């Protein structure tokens, strides 16, 4: 990361806000804004957070679910534990069956909310990055099919590419509502978008 990036980050209002309000990441505000708009997470929900490190989204989820809920954060990198006892961190690759089984063991099979701010390893070659992104998105959707409760909710980061429209068409068959949005805290120059699926329809898997 160059000096320009460091300077830009330190002057970013959401970076400063995260520091002052003791959030682990400026990304916390993305989920807070998405949740305020779409009412994704409710008290006592079970939430699975894929690509969770350093824990910014899990931190917001813990605030929303309260003491009666559960939050499971999964990432290749270590997630520093929270003081809340209802947080479970898994260090591993959520695209593997082994880690997916660990998630299911903790949540008892099903979750009310699945959130993912995960991003693939980007190489800077546009077409290749888009393919890696859609591969990761497809894994998230597959996991949603396996663990989301009926009427459950999904939030995931996506990068627009050739498969983007098809992915939205398929999701609209799985959820009662599908919304695409870019929260105010997402950097303007970033190509990321967020897809919100509300009201999962059980057994509506798409081949």
Return contacts of 173-176, CB within 8 angstroms, 24+ apart.
Answer: 173/201, 173/204, 173/206, 174/141, 174/144, 174/145, 174/200, 174/201, 174/204, 174/205, 174/206, 175/199, 175/200, 175/201, 176/151, 176/201
Q: Write the pLDDT tens digit of every residue in 82-115.
A: 999 999 999 999 999 999 999 999 999 999 999 9
Instruction: Please report the pLDDT score of residue 160 as a whole number.
Output: 80
Distance CA 153, CA 159 (A): 20
The pLDDT assigned to 8 comes to: 53
Phi, psi of 182 (to 5 degrees): -130, 105
**Per-residue three-class SS string for the chain:** CCHHHHHHHHCCHHHHHHHHCCCCCCCHHHHHHHHHHHCCCCCCCEEEEECCCCCHHHHHHHHHHCCCCEEEEEECCCCCCCCCCCEEEEECCCCCHHHHHHHHHHHCCCEEEEEECCCCCCCCCHHHHHHHHHHHHHHHHHHHHHHEEEEEEEEEEEECCCCHHHHHHHHHHHEEEEEEECCCCCCCCCCEEEEEEEEECCCCCCC
Which pLDDT tens digit goes with each residue over 122-180?
777 777 777 788 889 999 999 999 999 999 999 999 988 778 899 999 999 999 999 99
pLDDT score at 66: 97
C-alpha–C-alpha distance, residues 182 and 8, integer Å:
20
Average pLDDT over residues 31-58: 98
Name the phi and psi angles at 115, rounded to 5: -125, 145
Domains belonging to the chain, first-starting first, are 3-200 (3.40.50.150)
Residue with tokens 């990432």: 75
User: What pTM does this model have?
Assistant: 0.90
Q: Quick: pLDDT tens for 175-201.
A: 999 999 999 998 887 878 999 999 999
Give pLDDT tens digits for 1-10: 445 434 455 5
Active site (catalytic) residues? 157
Query: In whole angstroms, what is the distance from residue 114 CA to residue 90 CA?
Result: 15
């Amino acid at each position: 990361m160059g000096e320009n990036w460091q300077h830009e980050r330190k002057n970013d209002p959401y970076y400063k806000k995260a520091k002052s309000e003791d959030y682990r990441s400026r990304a916390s505000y993305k989920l807070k804004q998405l949740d305020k708009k779409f009412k994704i997470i409710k008290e006592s929900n079970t939430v699975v957070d894929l690509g969770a490190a350093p824990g910014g989204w899990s931190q917001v989820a813990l605030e929303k679910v309260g003491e009666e809920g559960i939050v499971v954060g999964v990432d290749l990198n270590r997630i520093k534990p929270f003081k809340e006892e209802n947080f479970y961190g898994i260090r591993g690759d959520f695209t593997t069956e082994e880690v997916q089984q660990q998630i299911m063991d903790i949540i008892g099979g099903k979750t009310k909310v699945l959130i993912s701010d995960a991003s693939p390893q980007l190489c800077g070659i546009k077409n290749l990055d888009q393919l890696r992104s859609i591969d990761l998105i497809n894994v998230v959707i597959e996991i949603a099919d396996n663990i989301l409760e009926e009427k459950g909710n999904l939030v995931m980061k996506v990068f627009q590419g050739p498969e983007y429209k098809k992915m939205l068409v398929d999701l609209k068959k799985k959820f009662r509502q599908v919304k695409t949005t870019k929260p105010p805290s997402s950097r303007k120059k970033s190509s990321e978008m967020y897809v919100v699926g509300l009201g999962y329809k059980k057994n509506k898997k798409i081949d």
